[in-house]
Amino acid sequence: MRRTAQVIVINEKDNVATTLKGLSVGAEVSVEFQGGLQKIRLLSDIPMGHKFALKDMEEGEAIIKYGEPIGKSTARISRGEHVHVHNVVSQPRGELR
């Protein structure tokens, strides 16, 4: 079986993957996502340890890593796009805020 050595998806519910090395815009990476191996073309340079979207997301959608919301998107995010502080905002204390 082919293994995905460039990126890691921690939990099956996640909608982002984390890179294990720096990857360039246009690179096609294989990701195990929703039970199958999917190919995703990167729309931005992704430095090592950073995240990209596994699917298209609307503004205000929960970003899921570790199977839990790590924040909310502040813009539309396309599959393969860099997901970081420029398009995600923290939701500290969840709904309490």
Smallest distance from another protein to CB 58, Å: 18
User: Residue from 27, 61, 69, 79 that binds another protein (CB under 8 A)?
Assistant: 69
Query: Per the structure block, which two tokens stand in for 54?
Result: 């596994």
Residue 78, CA atoms < 13 Å, CB-side half-sphere? 7
80: amino acid identity, one letter: G
> Is residue 10 part of the contact set for another protein (CB under 8 A)?
yes
Site size with another protein, rule: CB under 8 A = 34
Beta-sheet strand order (sheet of 16-19): 7-8, 16-19, 51-53, 82-83
Our finding on whether 39 is near another protein (CB under 8 A) is no
Q: How far is the CB of 18 from another protein (least distance, A)?
A: 6
Single out the residue of 40, 54, 63, 77 in contact with another protein (rule: CB under 8 A). 63
Alpha-carbon distance 69 to 20, whole Å? 21
Tokens describing residue 8: 């890691």
Residue from the set 25, 47, 56, 74 that interacts with another protein by CB under 8 A? 47
